[in-house]
Amino acid sequence: MIRLTTPNSSGYVTHYVAPDNIARVTEASTNCQWHGIRAIVKLFDGTVLECSETAHDINAAITKAGGAA
């Protein structure tokens, strides 16, 4: 499992995601980064997570967990 956090108005929400459930990881736009969102993670079930981790860090976690990168 990979631990991802999403910023919200009251702090952060933690998500634990199986590496094989991640369809795409992209770097967030500059505007999103201003608000603490560093990467956009799309899951195969259609869920989109706006994460505080960088796309590079998420990709490294996927690789370390043995998932497809």
Q: How many alpha carbons lie under 13 Å from residue 35 in its C-beta half-sphere?
A: 13
State how far the Cα of 18 lies from the Cα of 27, in Å rounded to an integer: 20
pLDDT tens digits along 34-51: 888 999 999 999 999 999
Report the pLDDT value the prediction gives residue 9, as an integer from 0 to 100: 74
> Assign residue 44 a region: left if phi > 0, alpha if psi is -120 to 50, beta otherwise?
alpha
Name the stretches of the chain with pLDDT < 50.
none
Residue-level pLDDT at 68: 58
Q: What pLDDT is recorded for position 22?
A: 95
Residue 44 carries which side chain, given as an amino acid letter?
F
**Where are the domains positioned within the chain?**
2-65
Q: State the pLDDT at residue 11.
A: 83
Q: What is the pLDDT of residue 67?
A: 61
